[in-house]
Chains A and B, each alone.
Chain A
Amino acid sequence: MNPTLVKLLQAPSIFLLFLWMIVPLSMTVYFSTIRYNLLYPERTGFIGLDNYEFFWTDPSFFPALLNTLILVGSVLVITIVLGLGISLLIDRPFRGRGVARVMLISPFFIMPTVSALVWKNMMMDPNNGLFAALSNALGLQPIEWLAQLPLFSIILMVSWQWTPFAILIFMTSLQSQDQEQKEAATLDGAGFWAQFWNLTLPHLARPISIVLLIQMIFHLAIFAEIFVTTSGGPGVSSTNLTYLIYIQSQQAFDVGVASAGGVFAIILANIVAIFLIRAVGKTLTV
């Protein structure tokens, strides 16, 4: 193929993605340095880093940052531990394994707003929900999940959706494990744990790091689950950074401060992205 044509064919995707990245990005950075509130259109002008200062001295900022870290951290631990355990359980063939697999990965395909509603109403409702019925049956006081344990409830929902993702990746990756090596180890008398530590875990090291990084990117941006269930409350007890920025723009109409928060979120995501791109880059053969 002639070189001009090669460039011509590549141009649209590169050009469009570049626009998609650079235009909004530079606008966000620009907005973050000017006075820009939809309620006070007469106030304008360059204000340097004031929006940033306003964003991180906001009493909600620190709780939101903490909630974000707790949310991401807990979901990561839960999904990876459960994902590893369950994918090992379904690695060996048994009757009906196909059905069990389908049941296990299905939650991942449920749209976030539906899963949030199902959990909020049918599972966690303090009067008519299943958890309440379970508590009553055991003679316990039903818990008002979203009011008393809002962040934990969100963690539960997100883990339910993302453990299947971990299972899916680990399951796929286990299939490429060297079976002969495992059989040899069994013949040599290596038990389950010895095999797990010395063969399986090293084999899964890369998939685990990929699952970790990808989930971080997605979980830093959790929005719909909070929007549908707790709206960040009570107070700010289940507000994460994404939701805080959303509130800044939709309720305070402060474009400048929301943009400063946006830049902060971009920087946070990029710290993770650098590691992820490196990990992915190693596997891409050109």
Chain B
Amino acid sequence: MTDKQRAQLKDRIAVVAAWIAACIFFFPIFWMVLTSFKTEGQAIAVPPLLFFEPTLENYLEIQERTNYFKFAMNSIITAFGGTALALLIAIPSAYAMAFNSGRWTKDILMWMLSTKMLPAVGVMMPIYFLAQTFNLFDTKLLLIIIYAMMNLPIVMLILFNYFREIPKEILEASRMDGTSTFNEIRQIVMPLAWGGIASTALLSIILCWNEAFWSIVLTTTEASTLTAFVASFQAPEGLFWAKVSAVSTLAVAPIVVFGWMAQKQLVQGLTFGAVK
């Protein structure tokens, strides 16, 4: 075998190994989606069925049996609400920091990130009592506030990085023309940073959607999101696999697509900007 042939062979083995890894990692998701198209009997068949006549019955029955749409709406409202609130607070702040950074800017940002590292379980009791005191327990508003505060540091950091990439000359030119700060944000910064803001929002929505500590601890029936709803299926072991799979598939599908779209922001956001 020549060196070239050997190199080619190595390449080929690497490609095969990559596909094997991809199939192994994707398999549980594939299996979940597959199970959602089985009847309950087929879902627990021994040995497991790979080929069967698919049925849509589980998807059609979800609403009749469970109240799926209420929980899906709760997820949508809390994820989008929390994200909107975080953006509302973060955009002016990140803007001010990026274009007028001072001696303390870096320290402030670092401190903000450090609040993200406070373990939720460490402040569980106070949050629980505060929620009770203000009559917010098991409400969507409570989750919106918590999700906004939880994601605010990451949102701030990513927006800060985006705003810094806007050339200062453009702003200076507009200031010469006497544009007010409000108009400056609206007419110049927002259009330029629009892509950055959208993808930051996407990242925040993903993180809110998949949040599974506060939603389990702070909701019972009214404000439960999909993460808490899915957790409620833990009890009857082995029952309703097909239906649980259908619920799960619907619960993860939109966010997996969002995730594929927001890969870059995800890397930046989750590494606190350290890997770009």
**Taking the nearest CB of chain B, how far is it from the CB of A68, in angstroms?**
11
**B228 neighbours in A (Cβ, 8 Å):** 113
**A261 neighbours in B (Cβ, 8 Å):** 121
B62 interface residue per 8 A CB criterion: no
> In the complex the two chains form, is B22's CB within 8 Å of A103's CB?
yes
> In the complex the two chains form, is B274's CB within 8 Å of A89's CB?
no
B238 interface residue per 8 A CB criterion: yes
> In the complex the two chains form, is B121's CB within 8 Å of A265's CB?
yes
> In the complex the two chains form, is A111's CB within 8 Å of B118's CB?
no
Binds A, one of B97-105, B136-144, B193-201: B97-105
Interface SS of chain B? helix
> In the complex the two chains form, is A173's CB within 8 Å of B275's CB?
yes
- CB nearest neighbor in A for B129: A27
> In the complex the two chains form, is A6's CB within 8 Å of B29's CB?
no
Q: Which chain A residues in 240-286 approach chain B with CB under 8 Å?
A: 241-242, 245-246, 249, 255, 258-259, 261-263, 265-266, 268-270, 272-273, 276-277, 279-286
In the assembled complex, the Cα of A6 lies from the Cα of B97 at a distance in Å of: 8
> In the complex the two chains form, is A107's CB within 8 Å of B28's CB?
yes
B68 interface residue per 8 A CB criterion: no
Q: How many residues of B contact A (CB 8 A)?
A: 102
> In the complex the two chains form, is B130's CB within 8 Å of A17's CB?
no
**Taking the nearest CB of chain B, how far is it from the CB of A226, in angstroms?**
11
> In the complex the two chains form, is B210's CB within 8 Å of A89's CB?
no
**Taking the nearest CB of chain A, how far is it from the CB of B2, in angstroms?**
16
Range class of the A interface residue count = 35 or more
Chain A 103-118, CB-CB to B under 8 Å as 1, else 0, gives: 1111111111111111
B181 interface residue per 8 A CB criterion: yes
> In the complex the two chains form, is A28's CB within 8 Å of B216's CB?
no
In the assembled complex, the Cα of A93 lies from the Cα of B83 at a distance in Å of: 36
> In the complex the two chains form, is A110's CB within 8 Å of B267's CB?
no
**A110 neighbours in B (Cβ, 8 Å):** 29, 210, 252, 256
Chain B 192-227, CB-CB to A under 8 Å as 1, else 0, gives: 000000000000001001101100110000000011
Of B31, B109, B152, B264, the contact of A122 (CB 8 Å cutoff): B31
> In the complex the two chains form, is B125's CB within 8 Å of A255's CB?
yes
Of A122, A136, A220, the contact of B28 (CB 8 Å cutoff): A122
* 20 extra A-B contacts, CB within 8 A, seeds A114-B32, A165-B270, A241-B121: A3-B100, A6-B100, A13-B94, A17-B149, A17-B152, A17-B153, A21-B115, A100-B18, A104-B26, A107-B29, A109-B252, A111-B230, A119-B28, A127-B238, A221-B120, A221-B213, A223-B213, A224-B212, A246-B217, A249-B125
Q: List 13 A-B contacts (CB under 8 A).
A: A13-B152, A17-B115, A27-B126, A106-B260, A109-B255, A111-B210, A114-B32, A133-B47, A262-B123, A265-B121, A269-B117, A269-B122, A284-B273
